[in-house]
Structure formats: structure tokens, C-alpha cells
Amino acid sequence: MKHERATEETRQQAALYTLGLLTQHEAHCFELHIKECAVCRAEFDNMLLAAAQIGLAVDEEEPPDDFRERLAARIDWSPQAELLLDFHGEKKSESASTVKPASRSGSRKTVVVINVIIVVFIALGWFYIRQTVEEEKLRLQSQIESSKDDLSDLRMQFDSQRENAEKLENFLNLFKRPSVREARLTGLPATPDNTGAVFWDDLTDEITVVGVFAPAPEGQIYRLWFTTSSGTTSVGLLPSDENGHIFTVAKLNKSVTAVSEGIGIMAIVTLEPESDSSERAEPESVPVAAGRVLD
């Protein structure tokens, strides 16, 4: 804070500083102040001049023998020595040189702090970049795994579609064969919604069954039978999906071929236990669909 005019306080502060009666901290603060405040600097110059004239007010005396050594030691220790000599344009004493190392030490500390801050920022930046790269790597790996799963699902769907296409093509080819015999399956009163068809090739003894039946109860499966006046025999199982759709291609066995020689062949579908794989002569369950094989 600069002063507009001298006060008793500023004069007292200048006098105490000139006489070296301030503490080191107070002296340092006063030195910084008079560099900015012309009023206090003028008071300091006046006090400095008055202190110099005090010696002229008394008679001269011979100083003690050790006065020069004590004065030199005093100058080396005094924090005001550098400022006093600097004001009068004189060469700075060795006390000034004692201040420079402290200044250089402070500068070195500042440089060290700045370097530490720079290193910390670089480390934080490197950590952030590495963290970002790792997160991006994990995200890409997740996308790759998801893409692999999607590709696997597409392959399964493609294989399923290709299999269905082959079945459909074979099914359509049945109508081009003159040796194919057909039986239209219709639901009985208890199961009126069941419907389907049996296609039987006399030349290859291959049979194709398609249909839409009620979904088979758990633990049961549909079975196809051929029956004539000469007997009944099992043609085979008719697996269905969860919606009751049936598409089965099978080869007729010898017993079925023997039945085929009879007249008035009937195709019958029943629900049988899934665990029963025996070839019984007669169905034990009530038919759920039936139809006559046309010649």
C-alpha cells in the first residue's frame, strides 16, 4: 500500500529499519514497500542522512582495535546492507551475495515444482489414453463376439432354410412321378383340426408325410399306420415341431410292402407313448386322423 504523505508510523518504521531494530521479516517487508512507495523511501533517505550526521555531533575518538572486524561481521550479517549500498550506487557487499543463493534456490524449487506438475499431467494423460484404448479394445472385442454369434445364427438359419428348400423341392417332385399314390388325412370328430397328406412312391417304397396337427402332448408322439383287410402294420413315427407341423420322409419296410399288396389301404395316425419303440401289430390309441390311399 502506497502512502500519500508521511505519518508518525512511517517515520518510526523508517527509523527502526535504519537502526537495524526490525525483525528479519519486518525488514524484508519494509524493503519491498519502499521500492513502491516514494513517501516511505524519502523518509528512509532522511533517516539514513540523520544517522550519518550523528557521528559529527560528538568529538572524534579512536575506535577500538577490533572495530574493523566487528563492523565487517556486522555488515555481513545485516539484511539491510545490500539495500543501503544499492541506494547510494556503491558496490554491493558480500551480504548481497548471500541473498543470491537463496534466490537461486527458490528458482530451482519453482522449476522442480513445474517439472513435477508437467510429469503428473503427462502421467494422467497417458493413463487416460491407455484407459480409453483398453475400453475401445473391449468394446471391439464384444462387437466381434456378437458378430460371430450373429454369423453362427445366420449359418444355422441358412442351413435350415436350405434343408427346407430341399424338402420342398423333393415334395414338389412327387407330383411329377406317375408311381406316387396319395392319401389325404383328415381329423376325426375328436380332432377336427388335424389335416395332412401321405405320398407313397411304389417304385422306390419312399413315403412322405406332411401335415398340421395339434401339438403332441408331452411324452407322446404321432405314429402312422397302414391297415387293410389282411392286417395292420406300423409305417413309422411322425415327429412334429412345437406348432404341430409334420414333414417326414421315410423308407417303407418289408412288412409295410406286404400290406401294400392288399386292397383298400387306409392310412391312420395315432398318438403313442414316445418311449414305446416296439412295432405292434395294432394301434392301442384312438386315431386322430385317417385317409384312404388312392390307387
Sorting pLDDT into bands at 50, 70 and 90, what band is 89?
A: very low
Mean pLDDT of the chain: 77
pLDDT the model gives residue 222: 92
Q: At what angle do helices 8-18 and 24-34 cross, to 10 degrees?
A: 120
Q: Which residues pair with 122 in a beta bridge?
A: none
Per-residue pLDDT tens over the stretch 132-177:
888 888 888 888 888 888 888 888 888 878 877 777 777 777 777 8
Q: Which domains does the chain have, with CATH numbers?
A: 8-92 (no CATH), 180-292 (2.60.40.200)
pLDDT the model gives residue 88: 46
- Average pLDDT score over residue span 7-11: 82
* 15-24, 74-83, 91-100, 107-116: least confident range: 91-100
pLDDT the model gives residue 54: 61
